[in-house]
Amino acid sequence: MITPIHGWNDPRFDAVRQAFESNFAERGDVGAAVSIYLHGDPIVDLWGGWYDESRECEWDRNTLVNVYSSTKGLVAFCAHRLVEQGKLDLDAPVAEYWPEFAASGKQDIPVRWLLCHKAGMAAVKRELVTEDMFDWETMTSALAEQEPWWTPGEKHGYHAMTFGWLVGEVIRRIDGRSVGAYFREEFAAPLGLDAHIGAGPEFDARISTVIEPQIAAEFPPTSDLFGDPDSVGIVAVINPPVFNPGGPAIASRRDWRAAEIPAANGHATARALARIYGGAANGGRIDGVHVLDPETIERGIEEQTNGPDTCIGINTRFGLGWALTGESTPYGPNPRAFGHPGAGGSLGYADLDAGIGFGYAMNQMGTEVAHDPRCTVLIDALYESL
């Protein structure tokens, strides 16, 4: 079966199109899109393959897909907007904005530690079921009441799911809007982004079904793991259960799509990811619309953590909410590149030195923790073409 490829690219970047086509032929892509901005202008906007695993419907220009942790990068834009407005102090205790969070010895944890994964709150200690993560109050109250897994600030560990509820609740306490509403009204609407944290049923016809990788995974009962600090990385994704290895994707459920799970359930086009990061890389504006001030972005990409991650077992490097270019998240050759990958392979990033905004989204999830080979060939082709 011939894979349909659509869209356009500046002829200087034909190598990116060739790399995109090779992902279907050689790396197992089913449906995907890649979009790139350079100095505020689109230079690549390609999509292809199939919307569904049965390969009956084509992926089209407006297909949305769950981009998992690439959502965290969008949440970071929201937090930095509040910093820019003087409403959020990164060094203030979280409890200053969210008093209940002070319970169980957490009264001194600063906001910045939530954003850079040093808060020790990487998993929920109250035993949960899948449906609990669709209820904001259930998740935020569980986090507010518990003790950290490690001494806050002592080390860093990826807050795979809790990042969204923690940072999102700070945003809600300051602004009054949910993080999904804040992102929609402050960024998506003015910038023309087809990206959503909480997607209503009106989007279902455009949302591609995520295809989970066929891997075998068996975990001990969650209750056996709560007392073991070394188990936090496992608890983070099984309490509540986020993935269903070998079975139907939880991401295809209507209640998953509708909920605001700001660490993991953003639904977006690659174009939306490229556009917001393209604005960040273009002096903080895109088509004359404000994204963030350059000094806000520079503060956001100051390195906060770099080294072994206590939760996911690889070296990670974080600024404030964004993953910085590095060993596990290589975004090209330049030092001032930042963004966020998502489970399975999606990626949005900005390269301030080259003026690049990049977005990739797909439905066939890969098995790499952070560094997906499909993105690697696209990024390599991009920089070779500059």
Supply the residues annotated as catalytic. Answer: 69
Q: Can you list the alpha helix ranges (DSSP code H) found in 288-344? A: 294-300
CA proximity to 297, closest of 341, 353, 347: 353
Tokens of 343: 């489970």
The string of DSSP letters for 229-297 reads GGGHHHHHHHTTB---TTS--GGGSHHHHHS--TTTBEEE-HHHHHHHHHHHTTTTEETTEE---HHHH
Tokens of 18: 């060739």
Tokens of 156: 């860093």
- Amino acid symbol at 341: P
**Cβ-count burial 83-121 (b if 16+ within 10 Å, e if not):** bbeeebebeebbbbbbeebbeeebeebbbbbbbbbbbbb
Contact (CB, 8 A) for 349 and 270: no
